[in-house]
Structure 1
Amino acid sequence: MEYTRKKIAEEAQVSPQKVFRYIKAHNVEPTKRVGRTDYFSEDDAHEMLTFFAEEKKEREVNQTSSDDSISKDEYITTLKAQVQDLQKRLDSKEDEVSELHRLLSQEQQLARTEQSKRLELEATNTKLIEANTDVLNEKDTKIQELEKKLLEEKNKGFWSRLLEGKYMAISKIDFDKLKKGFELYDNYFKNYEYTYLYRVGNEDKTLVVRFSKANFQHLTGLSYYRGPKKFYEDLADNRIDINNLNYDKNGFSRLKLSVIENLEMLIGDMARVSESGKFRHLSYDSLIRSNKAILAIACKGLKSFSIPISLLALRQEKIHITAYNVLEIKRQNLITKKIEKLK
């Protein structure tokens, strides 16, 4: 199947101008031109569709990160308000102490003829002053602690913030898991279109998912400086640059790699289907999942089929989702067009 710019824009839900800018920026060559209309290969079209879907997901994550920044500002504002409130209380206590001193002086003048009563009253007032002074000292200590926290938050250095989100290179154990997951994906998923027939209540439904080389990196959660397509090709040629293969800073990539060796569970009797939902910062239109809470592939729906956008570790991330029984699984090789029935 060949795609025009207009068809790619419709399926990706972006403007034709945005597709045009992507083609120019990545030097994507059309397979043929009819009149003024360019046609592009299915692989190039799938890579563009995946790019726009990932771009949309990143915008959602950035929006959430912006919300987190706002929450931090709100926290600082709250601390400032607490400092101001405690300062007001301190001023009030100082007024109370001044009033107590005034009363003490008045009592001394009125009780000169009653020495014993004057001394007793003086002792009582002295104790009261000491008690109030202790309260003021305690409040003052709390104010100093809050001011220190506020100052530390404001003066937090650039490098300390950078190190909090530092990326780490992949470990040898996880790299072995990655290679096993790659072998499964290369043998069973790459360039295949899977059709899942499943039942919801008394209604039969269909989920169609296409898998390409560019989709695999999204299932790992790893970052690679050469991009999704080169990531796959470098793995296939056994020349991946492991020093530039990094975990994500949130730790999700480690969870994905912990279950990627079980991809084969999603194309047989253990396969189930779940419908649209949202987990953390990820919104999806459907899931292909295992019957037990082990793993699931989250999919994004396009016009006529879906594409994989993420891999979820169901048990570790404590995700509880309704799963529907799969009645039939078929797959078609997108190159040879051969159709197989797997279940």
Structure 2
Amino acid sequence: MQFKAFRLAPLLALMMLLALRPFAWAGDSLIILDEEFDGTSLSSDRWPFQTGTITVSGGLLELTDGEIRSGVKPKYCTWSFKIKLNQTDKTVMVELDGSGCIRVSFGADGVIRAHTEIYGEGICEDSMGSYEANKWYVIKVVWERGRVRYYVNGTLKAVHTENVPTKPLMIYIDTHLTAGTTIWLDWIRVEVDAEKVYDRPSVVYWRGGDIPIEDWSSSTLTLTVHHPAYLAPRIKVYIPRAYRSYICEVYKDDVKLNTLRFIRLNRTLDIYNIPSGSQVSIKLVDPEPWMVQLYYSLLPLGIDIGVLLRWYDKLKSKWKPLPWLLFIIFLLLLLFVGYLAYKLLLG
């Protein structure tokens, strides 16, 4: 009997762990990029577009006559970086760009400028003072609804309240406009107050060129890119707290994908190895909170309980006491397992 109890113990421990495991939700702040430039090369995952001469060493990025773009697609964020340039007579731009831009430029006249623009509508631009070669500058940009604030070394230098972009933008760091330009970056960070910005599941990372068009219809989010033959192989979608009890079923041309991972700590759904094409659909199903983690844990193993959860969702809408019935059954099951364990341990 002792041997049987010993063999049963891991199963009992696993069941108790699943039953009692708490949901670990992060705060409202979502860090979608925290680049320290560790290692000896620039991450192609975080920076899928790279040109020019790039060196990563000692925690610094050195970029000469080139351009890098990040895969993150923030909207209304706090964006900061530490930068040094080798000269003051050539132009360097660090910006968020897409349907408009939020740009910090180090000009060929030795002046730092704040530039806010919605393409085709209007521009706001202000001088933020002069800069020197081979000197570090910490730039912080706070992009909010209807306002952008620009800081240099902790001092507020410009505030723009017109022509403020309202759609997600991507990060560009550009030194290729004039030959012989080198910059060094110590770090770059992008942080979003996610619960204020996103009122429904939204893309925060898109490893590709074009920012996807997000179209909501009923309980389905459809992501489409401009080029029909192109689709980013990896997407990250933020799931707001209001949607934490939903599971996301991901489809590409009506084929369900199981190459996804849900990260509970920051409530992001990581979808990877996506076949080429132009459209991905994310369908929301509303089971119970404890079913969410079970679904995302089993799916990468090839075990899809999505059909069962969809049926449960339909039954629950027709018969409201169903969750309580399942809870009672679960408690009875725990009591039964406890009784078996008691009998086995005591012989």
Q: Under TM normalisation by the shorter chain, which class is it? A: under 0.3
Select the structure of larger CA radius of gyration.
1
* TM-score, with structure 2 as normaliser: 0.22
Higher relative contact order (CA 8 A, sep 6+): 2
